[in-house]
Amino acid sequence: MSDIALHFDARPEGLPLVLLPAFPLDGRMFRGVRRYLDGWVITADPPGFGDSAPPRAVSAHLGEPAGPSLETYARAVARALDEVGAGKIVLAGVSIGGYATMAFAELFPERLAGIGLLDTKAESDDIEMREYRLRMADAMSANEPTVRFLAPLLDHVVSPFTKREREDTFERLAECFEQAPAEGIAWAQRAMAARPDRLEVLRRLRIPALVLRGEDDTVSSPEQAAAMAEALGTSVVEVPRAGHMAAAEDPEPVARALADLWERARAAAAGA
């Protein structure tokens, strides 16, 4: 059994769309999106989240150093996909899922038929954000209550419209945030703090691409989305009345954008 848990309706065939969730969530983030898509979708749980193995086990089984890194996440995803027979893929991720998607693109560009970057950014963290991440990681390692960091974070990553008008969605996200494991949180924060700038990686890609952001996203800016879109030769898709968790807040337009990416990638692969 793979260290990275993959969720799909049937064994992948053809060109699957693989989705990597935002911090601090697992593949359940995409339940709403999957309702609008066909059976060619695979969702993954990050190291230490959902049904995936703890981060140290993931690193050990790959023969890599135990230090947190998005490269480890990307290699573990590649290995899990190998085990289910998924070769060429369309890969899309939200937030840390986007960071891992870009790490995958650097390590395995030949496996990508298309790339989707949702509510994320290619730049590395500034000093202030890096220090915040490391403080959270240290707190989780010291067994401090996760709610101290995650409850304020949830308010920050969703649109005011979602808090006001999508109460069920907000409550489901709150429940998922409460269930996030301390070990996974600490690992993810340290991995994000250590990531490099990957705009150059995007510039080297020559594949169909999607850059999407929630209009009310206060974590990933319009300028950062525009920089990724320019590097990939595409334009930014904005989802109104949605924040950093647009894929969970308003899944239908996100699903449409992902379906369009998949269709473009499939057409490009067929014409190659």
Domain annotation for the chain: domains and CATH numbers? 6-271 (3.40.50.1820)
Residue % of the chain over a pLDDT of 90: 86
SS3 (DSSP) at 248: helix
Mean pLDDT, the chain, rounded, equals 94
Q: Which helix (H) or strand (E) holds 239?
A: strand 236-239
Read off the tokens for 103. Answer: 């790490």
Instruction: Check whether 55 has a pLDDT greater than 80.
Output: yes
Read off the tokens for 216. Answer: 């009310």
Q: Determine the residue type at 71.
A: E
pLDDT at residue 192 in the model: 97
Q: What is the mean pLDDT of residues 233-250?
A: 98
Dihedrals phi, psi of 105, to nearest 5 degrees: -60, -35
- Asked if residue 102 lies in contact with residue 117, where contact means CB atoms within 8 angstroms, the answer is yes
pTM: 0.96
pLDDT at residue 33 in the model: 97
Instruction: Check whether 1 has a pLDDT greater than 80.
Output: no
